[in-house]
């Protein structure tokens, strides 16, 4: 009787929208950092992809950090090739809204980025993030190599222990190798720098209270 809306379930590959062969966006340079958004990136840099709800606020969180070369928003680990934002919003592509973070490991470690990830959203909500409902808002860490996967898994266990100790739920974050990252439309790139507006996802870093379970 109270079936979950379709958007709140992860669809199967056979249900996915067909998409298209060509990219919907050819991103230019980073609106804030003025760096390229697409590869090839300088060889000393690493990259990782995070999904943590609406990608506007999450992207801003990461581009403000030292050692971050560029950030970009896109659609990740679903089935539909080259999806549009409207298609992703139907839940029929299985993509997650995601942030590509390219960083210099000499200045910014993966562990530091993971703190921003875990403490920058609620990783226990399944197919939603606060007011935003649907599989596109699920939590995920999409890794570039096995070493990243191990570090991400260790940090998941660390935060799960903290959550459990404080009576919180199980983490629903998906940790998986990154598949194709489809860049979102240009207007979504660095959205909160281009389009200042009140948005629940735009939380200044200095105002971000650490969640209760992170307290020592």
Q: How far is the CB of 78 from ligand MHO (least distance, A)?
A: 14
Residue (145 or 200) nearer to ligand MHO, CB: 200
Q: How far is the CB of 195 from ligand MHO (least distance, A)?
A: 11
Q: How far is the CB of 147 from ligand MHO (least distance, A)?
A: 31
Catalytic residue among 54, 70, 76, 201: 54
Q: What angle do CA 3, 80, 101 make, to 5 degrees?
A: 100
How far is residue 159's CA from residue 13's CA, in Å, rounded to a whole number?
31
54 flagged as catalytic: yes
Distances (CA, A) of 194 to 66, 187, 203: 21, 8, 16
Q: Which secondary-structure segment (H or E) carries 93?
A: none
Which residues have C-beta within 8 Å of that of residue 189, sequence separation ≥ 6?
Answer: 25, 27, 30, 31, 37, 59, 72, 73, 183
Residue (75 or 103) nearer to ligand MHO, CB: 75
Residue (82 or 199) nearer to ligand MHO, CB: 199
Query: Binding residues for ligand MHO, per CB under 6 A?
Result: 54-56, 97, 132, 199
Tell me the catalytic residues: 54
């Amino acid at each position: 009787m109270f079936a979950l809306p379709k958007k709140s379930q992860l669809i199967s590959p056979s249900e996915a929208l067909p998409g298209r062969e060509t990219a919907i966006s050819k991103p230019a340079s980073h609106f804030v950092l003025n760096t390229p958004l697409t590869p090839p990136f300088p060889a000393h840099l690493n990259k990782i992809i995070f999904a943590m709800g609406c990608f506007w606020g999450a992207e801003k969180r990461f581009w403000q950090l030292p050692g971050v070369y560029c950030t970009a928003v896109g659609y990740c680990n679903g089935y539909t090739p080259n999806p549009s934002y409207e298609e992703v919003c139907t839940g029929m592509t299985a993509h997650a809204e995601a942030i590509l973070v390219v960083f210099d490991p000499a200045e910014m470690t993966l562990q530091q980025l993971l703190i921003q990830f875990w403490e920058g959203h609620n990783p226990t909500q399944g197919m939603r993030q606060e007011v935003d409902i649907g599989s596109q808002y699920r939590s995920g860490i999409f890794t570039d190599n096995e070493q990243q996967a191990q570090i991400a898994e260790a940090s998941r266990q660390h935060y799960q222990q903290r959550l459990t100790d404080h009576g919180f739920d199980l983490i629903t974050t998906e940790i998986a190798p990154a598949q194709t990252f489809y860049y979102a439309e240009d207007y979504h790139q660095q959205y909160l720098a281009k389009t200042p507006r009140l948005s629940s996802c735009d939380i200044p870093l200095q105002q971000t209270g650490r969640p209760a379970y992170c307290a020592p």
